[in-house]
């Protein structure tokens, strides 16, 4: 190695990289992408024919105010309850039963409707109550008899 080569090497102008073999560059063949399987969207709609095995309707005929708790417990289990206060002797106590169950319905964000005189249906919020001659129970149209 001569003086000039040593200076070139020191200054970084050495052509030492020319000693290495370069690889031939070529473009890869483009691989064909396989078509992706389309992802099926699952529907959150439940068919009308689907049945909930846990769906029950309890019918309660309270005799005293203490029986109002039974109707509320049914609602808290996410079940529908029909309660009939027509057999209660004390109309004030019957009114308290309706008020107690209405409070439970309100707390659970459910709904309550009057079916007939003294007969009500109450349901959790995920169950809609509809039909002919069913009246919504509100303070303005409260007629529990």
Q: Does 81 have pLDDT greater than 90?
A: yes
pLDDT digit string, tens, across residues 108-119: 999 999 988 899
Q: Where are the domains of the chain?
A: 57-136
Helix, strand, coil share of the chain (percent; to 5): 30, 15, 55
Q: Rounded to an integer, what distance in angstroms lies between the CA atom of residue 99 and that of residue 122? A: 12
In this structure, the strands spanning 80-84 and 111-116 are unpaired
Say if CB 86 and CB 95 are below 8 A apart.
no
* Interval 93-103 mean pLDDT: 93
Rounded to the nearest 5 degrees, what angle is found at the Cα of 60, between the Cα atoms of 54 and 64? 140
Q: Say whether pTM exceeds 0.75.
A: no
Q: What sign has the CA pseudo-torsion 134, 58, 100, 126?
A: negative
Say if CB 110 and CB 125 are below 8 A apart.
yes
Q: Rounded to an integer, what distance in angstroms lies between the CA atom of residue 52 and that of residue 123? A: 15
Question: What is the layout of strands, in order, in the sheet containing 80-84?
Answer: 57-60, 80-84, 119-123, 111-116, 135-136
* Interval 85-94 mean pLDDT: 91
pLDDT at 108: 92
* Interval 118-122 mean pLDDT: 92
Q: Residue 57's beta-bridge partner residues?
A: 80
The separation between CA 121 and the C-alpha centre of its own chain, rounded to angstroms, equals 24
The CATH architecture one would assign to domain 57-136 is: 2-Layer Sandwich (3.30)
| 139 confidence band (pLDDT: 50, 70, 90) | very low
Buried b (16+ CB within 10 A) or exposed e, 101-114: bbebbeebebbbbb
């Amino acid at each position: 190695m001569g003086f000039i080569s040593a200076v070139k090497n020191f200054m970084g102008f050495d052509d030492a990289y020319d000693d290495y073999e370069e690889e031939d560059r070529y473009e890869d063949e483009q691989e064909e992408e396989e078509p992706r399987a389309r992802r099926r969207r699952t529907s959150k709609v439940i068919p009308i024919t689907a049945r909930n095995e846990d769906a029950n309707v309890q019918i309660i005929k309270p005799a005293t105010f203490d029986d109002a708790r039974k109707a509320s417990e049914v609602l808290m289990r996410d079940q529908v309850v029909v309660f009939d206060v027509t057999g209660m002797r004390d109309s004030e106590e019957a009114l308290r039963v309706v008020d107690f169950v209405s409070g439970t319905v309100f707390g659970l964000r459910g709904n309550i409707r009057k079916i007939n005189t003294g007969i009500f249906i109450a349901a959790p919020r995920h169950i809609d109550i509809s039909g002919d001659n069913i009246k919504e129970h509100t303070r303005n149209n409260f007629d529990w008899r």
